[in-house]
Structure 1
Amino acid sequence: METQENQNSAPTSFFQSIFQSTTAKMLMVGFLTLILLIPLEFVKNLIQERSNRQEEVISEINDKWGESVYFYGPILKVPYTVFEETLSINQKTNETVKQQKAITKYSYFFPEDLKAKSNVITKLLNRNNYESVVYSSKMNFEGNYIQPDFSSKNISTENIQWNKATILIKNTNLKSIKDEVKINFGGNKMTFEPVYSANITDSTQALETGFIDLKSTLKTDKTSFSFDITYNGSKQIKMVPIGKTTQLSMQSNWASPSFIGNFLPDDKTKKIDNNGFVANWKILHINRPFSQQFFEILPDLGTYAFGVDFVIPVNQYQQNERAAKYGFLVIGLTFLIFFLIQSISKIKIHIFQYTMIGLALILFYTLLISITEHSSFTKAYLIAATAIITLISLYSVSILKDNKFPMFIAASLSGLYTFIYVIIQLENYALLVGSIGLFAILAAVMYFSRKIDWNK
């Protein structure tokens, strides 16, 4: 009878020893870590969804206030006449008849000098939990033209329509111009009007003056011009350096400018501080690969534009997304801490208790994003981290039946969350600091686990 009981209990003891072994516990904790990646992925999708919603709201705000400003001008547009010979057959005599057909084409001349000044005042517009950076900009332009030269195309003077010249400005943000745009060209004042032109090869809109008689307007040396434009805009200000010498001076209260395009401002005069920035550009015609004049078609030169980007450098959803990317690391290291404590102290921690701890760690990210939408990221991170560290530390008191280990867990989680926060804030040194931090963590794990008997 006793032998039969020993036979029945033997398998039970065998399976119990397997499931209670260190290897089995490691496998279960590892498998749980992988399972918790599923709700962590849901959290990442939530962050992406909120980020997409923010982009939609920003787009709506910017559309009503004003989009990016892209400026390409002023351009002197001069029509000229060319004659094309056509052949036709006289139906009565069956003879070939030559005819000349007059066709009007257009030439485009850029300024000799182009100087621009821009004063940009930025502000934040809020809708619900979202915000967008917008600005108001007053831009002043002045410069001069020289006599247009048609010799490269062998166009005779009598075929040039000097009395039908106009001045053209290309732009992408006409609806946000706040005042009439008037130009003083050689002492003559003219008003720009919106026009549609089939000769413009890109999607920009155009402003154009009425006819100018260049014979009476152009001076023998240089003919000066000046005009002002006031915009409401967002995101960017860009302009094409079409002057033989182009100079732009810009100042703003925006403290985090990003200089974009083919040309950067002069480092010697550039100034950026908490009150804003001042930047100056000087671009010569030899610095860009296009000439001072075009015939028949005015190309899109937006590729060679330069300017400033006014978007927020790192918004709250980008920071939340970067924090969530370290979720696997936080879960894995926290479980590793509990597993090492379990192995060293011989305290049994049930897989259900690991699950509760893992869910608490994931809850951190939902707390973080929800609080961030009503506060700053730093404050939200501090509140969410404090709440989760307190929750896990108090829970570990009941698990570990001791105050020493929960204090160690609280200190470890505090250090881990601080480490993650530092990496999120860093940009240029994030990889370096992250690598050094992970090396230090690995060294600590190797040190504390060196005396554990893994064969049990």
Structure 2
Amino acid sequence: MENSEKQNTNKFGNWLKTSITARMLMVGFLVIVLLIPLSYINSLIAERANRQQDVVNEINDKWGHQVLVYGPILKLPYKTYTETSTYNEQTKTYLKETKTYINHAYIFPENLDVDVNVNSKTLNRGNFESAVFTTNMDFSGKFDTLDLSAKDIKNEDIIWDKATLLIKTSNLKGIKDAIHLKIDTQTLDFETNFNNDSKTYSGYLEELESSYLNQDILKQLTSSSFKINMAFNGSQDIQIIPIGKTTTMHMESNWADPSFIGNYLPNDETKEITKEGFKADWKVLHINRAFSQQYFNKIPNLDAFSFGTKFMVMVDEYQKSERSAKYGFLVIGLTFLIFFLIQTMSKISIHPFQYLMIGLALTMFYTLLVSISEHSDFLKAYLVAGISVIVLITLYSKSILKNWKFPLFIGISLTALYTFIYVIIQLENYALLVGSIGLFLILASVMYVSRKIDWNNG
């Protein structure tokens, strides 16, 4: 009885050692087991990325947030009247009472020209950095003749001496200098006018309102061009809302990776992007947008019509590390496949523990990559992590395979694989195409190498 149990045990052990099916099952099981540390590595990358975002938000809170500028808007108060009649029982007559209410008309300029100059830089805190900018925005334009008769508002009902100009912005904290409107020899100052009802863009659009306009300024607004200069410390993006009947914007910056966002794109003919920065021009006509030049009582939310530029890092270190880790299953699977083919073709025995050690070495690549990239650029981190893991596995393979022929082949294969993955994660538009072609070539190579293996034997 004992002899039969020993024989069965020996048969099972021999089957595990000699059977191709058994080795395939064992390798597949180990690949699945190694998905556990890979998932923890992905969680680590996500945690470090969240920490980076927290630091970026903290830096931006102190430096300045995104910039949206919306103005200038002419605010004209006017009188409206309601008449009520009450019946007097004693006199048997109706008494008429007229009540006067103050409403406001909001008038957009006839044309608005914006010239934006942006100087970008990075701010560091520990191992993390954030892209911020200082921008100088020059606004100029002109208002059309002030005529509200189309809305049955008489000139004598307009309170001309209470007219003001409004500028709305998402980044009141980031304004660097006092804001003045200049027109001919006249100058207007702006002050903060907080409005709890202006919740629109990133929480609140904060409002600046000018001092009252005198008759001279009102006349000059329709006959001469106004000029306003605004300087901001900001981050993330710069946008304006095209409230001019014709709105143009020219933007120039030293930022090499702009992303043009919003409802309108710059003109392709004048757009220029180089390593030293970019230049772009926009032109928006009133027929390009679905809102009016005049509003009464309240201005609707026009954020959907904003446009501008986002100052972004195309693929930061954590994004690259995350994309690289997504190929962890592929790297481990292909590496184990190479060892499996070598074991099957050369009849060299490789223990499951040795497969496990090789798999753990492959997962260490990603922890090395993340930790080193926090102190260096991604390419250097990728080279150091890749070379370390390839050398470690090549030397370990020498102790398993007993000669240099197969270990050198494994080292070259891993080098090609890591190079292939690096190329893929650097690409944006062609990542899927290059990845698909590469995987097809890998599959073709495996099919070619394994064509002479007798799969029926075991």
- Secondary structure of 2:452's counterpart equals coil
Report the equivalent of 1:196.
194
After TM superposition, list the pairs within 5 Å mapping 1:237-386 onto structure 2: 237-386=238-387
**Alignment coverage as a number of residue pairs:** 453
Gap change, CA 1:225 and 1:7, over 3 Å in 2: closer
Q: Which amino acid aligns with 1:232?
A: N
2:11 maps to 1:14? yes
Give the superposition deviation at 1:153.
Answer: 1.2
- SS for the counterpart of 1:192 is strand
Which residue does the alignment assign to 1:115? 113
Cα distance in structure 2, aligned partners of 1:201 and 1:40: 43
The question of whether the paired residues in 2 share the 8 Å contact of 1:201 and 1:297 is answered with: no
Aligned partners of 2:143 and 2:221 also within 8 Å: no
The CA distance in 1 between the partners of 2:450 and 2:381, in whole Å, is 35
Distance 2:91 2:327 in 1: 88
Q: Give 1:151 shift.
A: 2.1
Gaps of 5+ in 2: none
Could you say which residue in structure 2 is the equivalent of 1:134?
Answer: 132
Question: In structure 2, what residue type is equivalent to 1:277?
Answer: F
The answer for the alignment partner of 1:168 in structure 2 is: 166
- Return the alpha-carbon distance in structure 2 between the equivalents of residues 387 and 352 of structure 1: 21
Residues in 2 aligned to 1:221 and 1:64: alpha-carbon distance in whole angstroms: 40
C-alpha change, 1:216 and 1:422, in structure 2 (3 Å) is: closer
1:344-373, Cα deviation, whole Å (9 max, x unpaired): 000010000000000000000000000000
How far has the Cα of 1:18 moved from its partner? 3.2
Report if the CA contact (8 A) 1:199-1:297 is conserved.
no
**Cα displacement (A) at 1:12:** 2.6
Q: Is the 8 A contact 1:199 1:298 kept in 2?
A: no
Tell me the amino acid that sits aligned with residue 11 of structure 1: N
Report the CA distance between 1:8 and its aligned residue: 4.9
Deviations, residues 280-300 of structure 1 (Å, cap 9, x unaligned): 111111111111111111122
In structure 2, what is the equivalent of residue 152 of structure 1?
Answer: 150
Q: Distance in 1 between the 2:329 and 2:92 partners? A: 88
| Cα distance change, pair 448–158 in 1 and its aligned pair in 2 (3 A) | same
Corresponding residue number in structure 2 for 1:81: 79
Distance 1:342 1:180 in 2: 76
Residue type of the alignment partner of 1:391: L
| SS of residue paired to 1:427 | coil
Identity %: 55
Given the two structures, how large is their TM-score scaled by the length of structure 2? 0.95
Q: Is the 8 A contact 2:168 2:206 kept in 1?
A: yes
Distance between the aligned counterparts of 2:92 and 2:449, measured in 1? 107
| Alignment match of 1:106 (pick from 101, 104, 107) | 104
Q: Which moved more, 1:318-327 or 1:287-296?
A: 287-296
User: Which secondary structure does the structure 1 equivalent of 2:451 belong to?
Assistant: coil
Instruction: Say if 1:148 and 1:197 are closer, same or farther in 2 by CA, change over 3 A.
Output: farther
> How far is 1:184 from its partner?
1.4
Q: Deviations over 1:88-135 (max 9, x none)?
A: 677998987542221111111111111111111011100001011111
How far apart, CA to CA, are the structure 2 residues paired with 1:256 and 1:30?
Answer: 43
Question: Please, what TM-score do these two structures have when normalized by structure 1?
Answer: 0.95
Deviates more, 1:148-157 or 1:342-351: 148-157
Query: Offset of 1:217 from its aligned partner?
Result: 3.1
2:39 is matched with 41
Contact in 1 for aligned 2:183/2:217 (Cα 8 Å):
no
The structure 1 segments of at least 4 consecutive aligned residues displaced by more than 6 Å after TM superposition are 89-96
Cα shift at 1:35: 0.8
- The SS at the match of 2:312 is coil
